[in-house]
Amino acid sequence: MPALAITTVDYHTAGEPFRIVTGGVEPLRGATILDKRRDAAERLDHVRRLLVFEPRGHADMYGCHVTEPNDQGADLGVVFFHNEGYSTACGHGTMAIGTWALESGRIELREPETRVVVDVPSGRLECVARCAGGRVESVRFRNVPAFVLARDVEIAGITMDVAFGGAFYACVEAPAHGLTVEPRRLPELIALQRELRPAIEAQIDVVHPLEPELNGVYGVIFFQAETGDTFTQRNVTVFADGEVDRSPCGSGTSARLAVLHERGDLAVGDELRHLGVVDTEFRGRIVAASDLAGRRAVVTEIEGSAHLTGRHEFVLADDDPLGAGFLLR
């Protein structure tokens, strides 16, 4: 007999998987999304492990719990999870959850555009879905203010900028350090990310000025100019415990826009064509300059497309010796 049976709907956004819990799990508790995030970690972490870990998932799996929003100003709330725990932001997941909410009928789909408001741990995101033929063609979300925390930080011979785009990222120009953004270099990029994360946190205080729970280096973005033009770049983001983002990384794109604006490369109104390691793309645009607790910040919009990949029921049998699973990497 199954000890646990959980249903999900799976999407990919620009190649990056996203597993949405739709049944078999009791609601998360708490008044806010941050409260619910803590509840998921403390009380329901076996669900994350079951859906992310092998043999039902893999080291690069991503997913979420769908929750009630913080208040009636939003349509739904989301708590994201991955191989290490629970992230504060996920751009590709936001695009997938907006697509799922409309295509599943949870929110009425209207053409040519439908507005969806989502509460995530980093804040409230205004999303707009472009719709045609009863389907969602793309989702763009207006992110929380993005800002540069530190410029030209040097650690272990690597120079980087540290920026916030919903989570904190270190941005490393790959060619400047003899690296390239391509699949064959992933093992060394993963190893470098695992080395850099704790070293950065030992050197600088990585914490949001308004919300202490938004802290720590989530990922390292390895980027390169694609055409000698700052308006097109390629990146691979390695985050959590060596997890590789197949998409161009939505919250990471916001962080990159903050860095490019700070350095004078992109102005308000400019758009970045951001490519990922599997040749998919997001479009990121700076829509306004902002201020965040005395820091220069930017408001960004990121757009991409999500596609349905499957509907599943994952079962944990009561005699399964592997329990919720394992990770080999």
In angstroms, what CA-CA distances link 130 with 109, 127, 263, 280, 306? 10, 10, 32, 18, 12
* Cβ neighbourhood burial of 162 (10 Å; 0-12, 13-18, 19+): buried
Distance, CA of 180 to CA of 159 (rounded, Å): 15
Catalytic residue among 64, 90, 127, 171: 90
Residue 36: its H or E element: helix 33-43
DSSP string, 200-250: HHHHS--B-SS-TTSBSEEEEEEEEESSS-TTEEEEEEEETTTEEPSS--H
- Angle in degrees, 0-180, between the axes of helices 45-52 and 33-43, rounded to the nearest 10: 80
Residue 171 is among the residues annotated as catalytic for this protein: no
Active site residues: 90
